[in-house]
């Protein structure tokens, strides 16, 4: 059942869905007097480790922010380096992910990408579509505002064609039109690199996520850093608007 209407998550000590803003690649490279692209390349190593670790820990879904709709504003040379890295990384990694039973999906507006990149994306999704392991969602040319507007457009189209009525629009219905609607909402949001902001990531889906910010730069982020985030998460009390007292009473009533 979807996260926004699924309060059973209160009792979970392990997140079902983790969302990550993988930030700090540029600063990691700067510190080493390397070009920013070297930081992005090093970041791929962390991504691989974290994906594998999540799969091993039986996390249901991992959604990673690879390229935001605002990242087109970066210098042309950095954008080109990132696009080239996406193609080479997807090509090199997808077979390994498939062997690990990972189901890969991309969210965001892919139409702005080169044909080559769009083909790699489509191939990766098709190859892994039936896999029953970790759901790995890669946000590429993704923006949370775009996602919400896109949902509005689809619903407006349905109203126009008399497939639905305005009265039928509620949060659950709206939710079915945004990205990742087939998954529970992220329980845990992690941002590396020290900034404490969402940067237009999953603005609708993160409404009730636990937010974890860490100074570690993404290329330095490893398995034990994820474990630290998981330990922190296990200590949260997710109240979903209720009081702590109510949750305690519910727990007593269950046992």
- Give the residues lining the site for ligand IPE (CB under 6 A): 21-27, 65-68, 70-71, 82, 193, 195, 197, 199
Question: Cα dihedral sign for 115, 47, 3, 126?
Answer: positive
Span of 22-30, 90-98, 119-127, 244-252 interacting with Mg ion by CB under 5 A = 22-30
Contact 15/58 with Cβ under 8 angstroms?
A: no
Given ligand IPE, Mg ion, none, residue 21, with its beta carbon under 5 to 8 Å by kind, binds ligand IPE
Given Mg ion, ligand IPE, none, residue 146, with its beta carbon under 5 to 8 Å by kind, binds none
CB of 118 to ligand IPE, least distance (A): 18
Please identify which residue in the block is written with the tokens 């039109």. Answer: 177
Q: Which of residues 10 and 200 has its CB atom nearest to ligand IPE in the complex?
A: 200
CB of 214 to Mg ion, least distance (A): 14
Q: Please identify which of the residues 23, 147, 175, 187 carries the catalytic annotation.
A: 23
Contact 104/136 with Cβ under 8 angstroms?
A: yes
Q: Please identify which of the residues 30, 71, 150, 200 carries the catalytic annotation.
A: 71
Given Mg ion, ligand IPE, none, residue 147, with its beta carbon under 5 to 8 Å by kind, binds none
User: Of 40, 51, 41, which is closest to residue 18 (Cα–Cα)?
Assistant: 51
Q: Which of residues 56 and 197 has its CB atom nearest to ligand IPE in the complex?
A: 197
Q: With CB under 5 A, what is the number of residues at the site for Mg ion? A: 1
SS3 2: coil
Q: Please, which of residues 123-152 interact with Mg ion by CB under 5 A? A: none
* 23 labelled catalytic: yes
Contact 254/33 with Cβ under 8 angstroms?
A: no
> Rounded to whole angstroms, how far apart are CA atoms 99 and 162?
44
Which residue of the chain is nearest Mg ion when measured via CB? Answer: 23
Given Mg ion, ligand IPE, none, residue 67, with its beta carbon under 5 to 8 Å by kind, binds ligand IPE
CB of 125 to ligand IPE, least distance (A): 20
Residue 23 near Mg ion by CB under 5 A: yes
Q: Which of residues 21 and 59 has its CB atom nearest to ligand IPE in the complex?
A: 21
> Rounded to whole angstroms, how far apart are CA atoms 127 and 93?
12
Region of 209 (left: φ > 0; alpha: ψ -120 to 50; beta: rest) is: beta
* 73 labelled catalytic: no
Other CB atoms closer than 10 Å to residue 168's CB: what's the count?
Answer: 11
Q: What are the b/e assignments for 17-50, b being 16+ CB within 10 Å?
A: bbbbbbbbbbbbbeeeeeebbbbbbbbbebbeeb
Half-sphere exposure of residue 152: CA atoms within 13 angstroms, side-chain side: 7
Given ligand IPE, Mg ion, none, residue 157, with its beta carbon under 5 to 8 Å by kind, binds none
Q: Which of residues 18 and 82 has its CB atom nearest to ligand IPE in the complex?
A: 82
List the catalytic residues: 23, 71
Where along the sequence are the contacts to Mg ion (CB under 5 A)?
23
């Amino acid at each position: 059942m979807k996260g926004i209407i699924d309060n059973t998550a209160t009792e979970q000590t392990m997140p079902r869905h983790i969302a990550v803003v993988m930030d700090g690649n540029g600063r990691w490279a700067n510190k080493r007097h390397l070009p920013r692209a070297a930081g992005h390349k090093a970041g791929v190593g962390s991504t691989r480790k974290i994906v594998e670790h999540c799969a091993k820990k039986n996390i249901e879904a991992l959604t990673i922010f690879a390229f935001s709709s605002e990242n087109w504003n970066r210098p042309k040379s950095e954008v080109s380096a990132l696009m080239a890295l996406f193609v080479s990384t997807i090509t090199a990694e997808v077979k390994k992910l498939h062997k690990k039973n990972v189901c890969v999906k991309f969210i965001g507006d892919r139409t702005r990408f080169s044909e080559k990149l769009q083909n790699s994306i489509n191939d990766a999704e098709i190859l892994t579509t039936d896999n029953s392991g970790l759901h790995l969602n890669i946000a590429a040319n993704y923006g949370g505002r775009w996602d919400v507007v896109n949902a509005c457009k689809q619903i407006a189209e349905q109203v126009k064609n008399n497939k639905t009525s305005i009265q039928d629009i509620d949060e659950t219905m709206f939710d079915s039109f945004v990205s990742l609607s087939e998954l529970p909402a992220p329980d845990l949001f992690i941002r590396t690199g020290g900034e404490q902001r969402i940067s237009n990531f999953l603005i609708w889906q993160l409404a009730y996520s636990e937010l974890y910010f860490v100074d570690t730069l993404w290329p330095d982020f490893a398995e034990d850093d994820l474990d630290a985030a998981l330990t922190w998460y296990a200590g949260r009390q997710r109240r979903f608007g209720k009081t702590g007292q109510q949750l305690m009473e519910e727990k007593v009533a269950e046992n």
